[in-house]
Amino acid sequence: MKIILPLENLQYDFPVPDQLDGLHHDSIAKICPFCLRLWAIIQVKSKHFSIQGTCCLPCWTPARILPLYAQFPGSLLDDCSRMGVQWELIEHFPQELVQREFKVHLKVFA
Ligand SMILES: [Zn+2]
């Protein structure tokens, strides 16, 4: 699985078990509905991309948690096409991405 965070200039490439790759129907490109920036690319093998409109971290405010968008803005685990957070992936994430997810989720509850 390859994850690219263009706004943060970060890129990760790490293995996940085949059954977890199967969780994703598509590779995902996350575009913020407020600033229209591509903020995350989640590439799963050679699967084609679906585009998700989910809020990026810089645009997030408490008022911008909308049912149609991710409940955890900036989260790589929050998959609006599957209506939930893909917690199964986190144990395979590099440590830096685990820490990033922790901060993203704390921000919503702070
Ligand atoms: Zn944005």
Categorize the per-residue pLDDT at 110 as very low, low, confident or very high, splitting at 50, 70 and 90: confident
Cα(46) to centroid of ligand 1, in Å? Answer: 27
Cα 27 to the chain's mean position, in Å? 11
Q: Where are the domains of the chain?
A: 2-109
53-88 per-position pLDDT tens digit: 888 989 888 776 655 555 788 999 887 776 677 788
- The two tokens of residue 18 are 């085949």
**Considering just the CA atoms, what is the radius of gyration of the chain in Å?**
13
Cα(108) to centroid of ligand 1, in Å? Answer: 15
Cα(38) to centroid of ligand 1, in Å? Answer: 8
This model's pTM is above 0.75? yes
C-alpha to C-alpha distance for 82 and 49, rounded to whole angstroms: 15
75-84 per-position pLDDT tens digit: 998 877 766 7
C-alpha to C-alpha distance for 67 and 93, rounded to whole angstroms: 26
Strands 49-53 and 38-43: unpaired
Cα(59) to centroid of ligand 1, in Å? Answer: 4
Categorize the per-residue pLDDT at 40 as very low, low, confident or very high, splitting at 50, 70 and 90: very high
